[in-house]
């Protein structure tokens, strides 16, 4: 019988320990989004969120940190999501510190970007 700990490949030469539950961090790689207007989407992710444009060709725009791609935009979508539905439910971008978080938040507020309330307007919380 082998004493090797089972692992699951995670796409970028990384593995997550699934045998002992001792993994400190897990990643699934970049999020791919189909977009209608590549330049408008690039403006949001670059100018508002603060990601760097890592590469661009006719098929995709890669954005992220200087070292890692986090978002890949694919131009060519033919319709917007239905009103009230984004098609994407959650993207988490871990910023390095509170100062960087405050900078992103300030850019959102400056542009009057709509931000949902934490809970539905029924007044009920978790």
- pLDDT tens digit string along 45-97? 999 899 999 999 989 999 999 999 999 999 988 887 777 776 666 778 888 89
* pLDDT score for 90: 72
* pLDDT score for 26: 67
Distance (Å, rounded) from C-alpha 86 to C-alpha 114? 13
């Amino acid at each position: 019988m082998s004493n090797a700990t089972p692992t699951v490949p995670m796409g970028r030469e990384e593995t997550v320990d699934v045998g002992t539950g001792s993994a400190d961090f897990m990643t699934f790689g970049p999020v791919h989004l189909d977009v209608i207007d590549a330049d408008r989407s690039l403006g949001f992710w670059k100018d508002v969120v603060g990601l760097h444009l890592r590469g661009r060709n006719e098929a995709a725009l890669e954005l992220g940190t200087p070292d890692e791609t986090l978002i890949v935009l694919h131009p060519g979508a033919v319709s917007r999501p239905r009103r009230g539905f984004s098609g994407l439910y959650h993207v988490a971008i871990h910023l390095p510190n509170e100062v960087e978080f405050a900078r992103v938040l300030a850019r959102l507020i400056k542009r009057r970007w709509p931000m949902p309330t934490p809970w539905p307007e029924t007044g009920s919380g978790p």
